[in-house]
Structure 1
Amino acid sequence: MFAGTQTVMQPETTRITKNAKLPEEIRQKVGSEDVETIGMELHVEQPGRKKLHPEVVARMQAAKALGVRVLEDVPRIGAFRVNDPTGEHYLSPGKGDELRKWIDKAHEVAGAIAARGLGYAQVKALGEKMAARDPESAWFRALDKAADIHEKRAVERAFGEWADGDSVAAHVAYGLDAFCSADVGNSNATNSVLDPVNRGWLTATYGVRFMIFEELAASLP
């Protein structure tokens, strides 16, 4: 769906503003001429986006009613920007110095995870391997050219690992109390950031407290 996202420009519009109606500071710059304003409007379209299943919508609405909010992801160059000014859907990472500290910590943890060959590092390594078949292709574009079902599954696992790694990094940056997940990396053919060994490293290094859902529910007042 994200790969198919496209920006579409709407037809240009033009508007003439008579010189007499211009603010004085503008007239000083343009003299006695009228001003022609050309407007361009850009829309983002995702033709591959499918309508959500009604049960998924119901669960999302129920979670929102409970006060559940989504964590913002590790900010990366070229990533989609979250626009939620009221904090209705996403947990705010703060503003000013607080936001800078959040970004620094998120990148620190994500970088440490990648340095262990986990998270984002796996999808990039796979992309570089696949790009070797076409030296002129960027590694991230090569990921869309799986040769067979086995390579396609490898791409899916790598993206899942990236998501897990960034989820942990965001969790640490927010300073949350518990990371709730029953995932222990069994689906990943290589090391997973959520396997027992790396869970131990995350706990020892960043104090991540892992729980399954039942443990989380039992700990609530």
Structure 2
Amino acid sequence: MRVTFDTNVLDLACRPERFPKDPRQAELAKVHSALKGGAIEGFYSVTMLTVEGIMKKDRAAVFAGTTVTSTAHPTEMTKRSDLPKELADMLGDGDFDVITTGVTLQAGQPQRPPLHPEVVARIQAAKALGVRVLHDVPRIGAFGLTDPTGEYYLDRGEGAALSAWIDSAFAVSREIEARGLGFSQLCTLGVSLASGPDATWFAALDKAADVHQRRQVERAFAEWADGDSLAAHIAYGIDVFCSADVGRSNATNSVLDPANRAWLSNSYGVRFMTFEDLAATLP
């Protein structure tokens, strides 16, 4: 069974020793053993590191401090005779040159702190059990996990398989955001807090006027993480999404509230389970 673990249940599965007073000791041991023995193949979203890996109180300031720099690449001209045969054949007959130019955008977050030691310990415990990281929905300037040797991420394939994964992740995330859920909530809040037409939405995330707006921003970050986790889960075709979150903190406007869970199940076949549900499926 392939299972995506939400942040709120990952430690229960990977580090049950942290919960000696939890009354679900049998369930914790059962799920942990299933991961260890291979009966469960586990995953978690990289948003646990890129978004939720920042302390809740610091997220707005870190993202508000995002810098974006652009680098223009020199224009290059390639003669038809120097093009790969496949490309030359696709472009057809004739005497022509191909002109190539480009711009690289690079984002930085100078206020982003190192991962908290507890988050690092969670990563290490998950890795020891073979739990893999799910890529996020591709976004310009997005942060990710550096994994040059492929030890952490679940592979998305290459060529047509990779293109299909990206198309699927984008399609699901667009549907989530079209319903006013996921990443769209943070963008909308940022725009509402921005001071002028030229201000960027992310630079305004630390401009909350009072505690109520600050709580809104905090919930919107969590909603972003949930929405992207589900989009990746669906794009990878994983069997079960395990979470303790029923979206109560965001009333009826959460991708994980009961109504939207039903929509995701009906539209994409997402199978939701609580930790207890998951344990009950195991022998």
Would you say same fold, with TM above 0.5?
yes
Shift in Å, 1:108: 0.2
Which residue does the alignment assign to 1:114? Answer: 177
Once the two structures are superposed, residues 173-195 of structure 1 have per-residue CA deviations (whole angstroms, 9 ceiling, x without a partner) of 00000011110111115510000
Which of 103, 107, 122 is equivalent to 1:59?
Answer: 122
Identity over the aligned pairs, expressed in percent? 64
* Residue aligning to 2:255: 193
Change (3 A) 1:65 1:195: same
Which residue in the other structure is 2:4 paired with?
none
> Which of 148, 165, 186 lines up with 1:123 in the alignment?
186
Q: What displacement does 1:128 show?
A: 1.4
Which letter does structure 1 place at the counterpart of 2:171?
E
| In structure 1, C-alpha distance between the alignment counterparts of 2:109 and 2:260, rounded to whole Å | 39
Q: Pairwise mapping of residues 89-168 of structure 1 onto structure 2 (< 5 A)?
A: 89-131=152-194, 133-168=195-230
Q: Which runs of 4+ in 1 moved over 4 A?
A: 1-7, 44-48
Pairs aligned (count)? 184
Query: Which of the pair has the greater relative contact order for Cα pairs under 8 Å at 6+ separation?
Result: 2
Instruction: Identify unmatched segments of 5+ residues in structure 1.
Output: 8-43
Instruction: Indicate conservation of the 8 Å contact 1:127/1:139, yes or no.
Output: yes
- Aligned Cα RMSD in Å? 2.4
Shift of 1:47: 5.5
Give the CA deviation at 1:201.
0.3
In structure 1, the residue matched to 2:9 is: none
Post-superposition Cα deviations, 1:11-59, rounded to whole Å, max 9, x if no partner, equal xxxxxxxxxxxxxxxxxxxxxxxxxxxxxxxxx7856414633x54433
Displacement of 1:81: 4.5
Q: What displacement does 1:86 show?
A: 2.9
Partner SS for 2:250:
coil
Aligned to 2:19: none
- 1:141 is matched by which residue type in structure 2? A
Contact 2:265 2:271 survives alignment (8 Å): yes
Q: TM-score, normalised by structure 1?
A: 0.74
Cα gap change, 1:191 to 1:51, in 2 (>3 Å) = closer
- Could you say what secondary structure the match of 1:90 adopts? coil
Larger radius of gyration: 1
**Of 65-74 and 44-53, the range deviating more from structure 2:** 44-53
Counterpart for residue 279 of structure 2: 217
Q: Distance in 2 between matches of 1:121 and 1:188?
A: 14
* 1:13 matched residue in structure 2: none
Cα separation, 2, equivalents of 1:45 and 1:196 = 35
How far is 1:60 from its partner? 2.7
CA contact (8 A) 2:182 2:228 kept: yes
Cα pair distance change 1:109/1:185, threshold 3 Å: same
TM-score (ref. length: structure 2): 0.59
C-alpha distance in structure 2 between counterparts of 1:200 and 1:141, whole Å: 34
| Structure 1 partner of 2:270 | 208
Match in the other structure for 2:136:
73
Aligned AA (2:197): P
Q: Do the aligned partners of residues 57 and 140 (structure 1) sit closer, same or farther apart at CA in structure 2, a change above 3 Å counting?
A: closer
Tell me which residue corresponds to 1:84: 147
Residue 179 of structure 1 aligns to a residue whose secondary structure is strand
